[in-house]
Amino acid sequence: MANREAVRPTLLSLFLGFAHIGMMSFGGGLAAWTRREVVQTRGWLTEQQFLSGYALSQLVPGATNVNLAVFIGTQMRGVPGALACFLGLTTLPVLIVLGAGALYMGSNGGSVWLSVALAGMGAVALGMNLGLGVRLAFDNLRRIGPALVTLCIAVGIGILRLPLPMVLAVMMPISLAIAWWGRKA
């Protein structure tokens, strides 16, 4: 795949690319659509660059997917690229939500078709996020140590319902030790 040195998209292509992502992932699943568009379809970032940006986007305050769009735009074209990606990602969905809200409120909250459509979008978003997680796990968890760390975090948070800060306080040092040991080996 190409990377940002080889591909320098125009501001318009960044805006249109993220408008496409925003519309295709309406209701959720943004990370999966963003990865597909940015890495697979357009080749703006490599898989590793995308994963690094996604990890960084989760660490900083704000909506992860908006942070990711700003990160990608900044990598591609600086501040103007960040604005193009942000506006592309958010403009059309915001207009649709406002229009749907007006329709919903105009029918006194009794719009069955809108409720069904929103429930369907939620199910699609859940499936896409699950698919992205499985795909990234298969692509990036090639050693037993990182796979076990991922499994422990998933079990701790998802099944045992342990608080996220507690799980991270235990697993981050273990993960760093495994990474450090893996580099030495």
Q: What is the pLDDT of residue 184?
A: 77
Given a contact cutoff of 8 angstroms between Cβ atoms, the answer to whether 54 and 28 are in contact is no
Report the candidate in 18, 29, 31 with the shortest Cα–Cα distance to residue 122.
29
Distance CA 114, CA 104 (A): 7
Distance CA 173, CA 99 (A): 47
- Helix residue ranges per DSSP H, the chain: 11-24, 30-35, 47-59, 64-106, 112-140, 144-154, 164-184
Residue 85: both structure tokens together: 């990606």
* Per-residue pLDDT tens digits of the chain, which is 185 residues long: 444 445 689 999 999 999 999 888 766 678 888 999 999 999 999 999 999 999 999 888 888 999 999 999 999 999 999 999 999 999 998 898 888 778 777 766 556 776 777 778 778 878 877 887 787 777 767 778 888 888 899 899 999 999 989 998 999 999 889 888 877 76
pTM of this prediction? Answer: 0.61
Q: What is the pLDDT of residue 31?
A: 87
Q: What is the pLDDT of residue 3?
A: 46
